[in-house]
Amino acid sequence: MPKADLIFRPLKNSFCVTVKNLEKLSVDEIQKLQTFVSARKGIFDFNSYTFSIQKKLGLEEFENLLMLCKIDAVVTEEFKIDDTEPRISFGHYKGMLYGELPDSYLLWLKSNYRGAQRENVESELLKRKL
């Protein structure tokens, strides 16, 4: 059984992880990852094979958490801190990049949000073809 192959990206106030081989993992391993993410109030996007958690964390801390949760993985770090990308400035996902938001929340914003960041919502919806 293959180990999860993870790419860890630290962001300004959160971190994002891409699961490069998600389709090759067993259901049990995927459920472990899902539990790990949901226990930390993160977002797992199965369309892009990524999850993000709104907590500042380093690679070593992330690897230690995986070990504590008995998740067998190979982790590499990718440095991509882009402060030019817009972040959501309100609500439960405050501080996260629009690209990290779940599709369901973006669709909810499309129908319900009329604030100053409406253009960012529309832009992300177009990117995802929603």
pLDDT tens digit sequence for 25-49: 999 999 999 999 999 988 888 877 8
Sheet of strand 4-10: strand arrangement: 43-45, 50-53, 15-19, 4-10, 73-77
pTM for the full predicted model: 0.64
48 shares its domain with 104: no
How far is Cα 95 from Cα 83, in angstroms, rounded to an integer?
A: 11
User: What domain range is 130 assigned to?
Assistant: 84-130
Q: What is the pLDDT of residue 81?
A: 53
The number of residues making up the chain comes to 130
70 shares its domain with 113: no
61 shares its domain with 14: yes
CB 85 within 8 A of CB 44: no
Overall number of domains in the chain = 2
57 shares its domain with 10: yes
Residue 83 pLDDT exceeds 70: no
25 shares its domain with 65: yes
Mean pLDDT of all residues belonging to the chain? 86
Q: Which of 39, 56, 77 delimits the end of a domain? A: 77
72 shares its domain with 8: yes
List the CATH number of the domain containing 36.
3.30.780
**129 CB-near residues (< 8 Å, 6+ apart):** none
CA 97 to chain centre: 9
99 shares its domain with 39: no
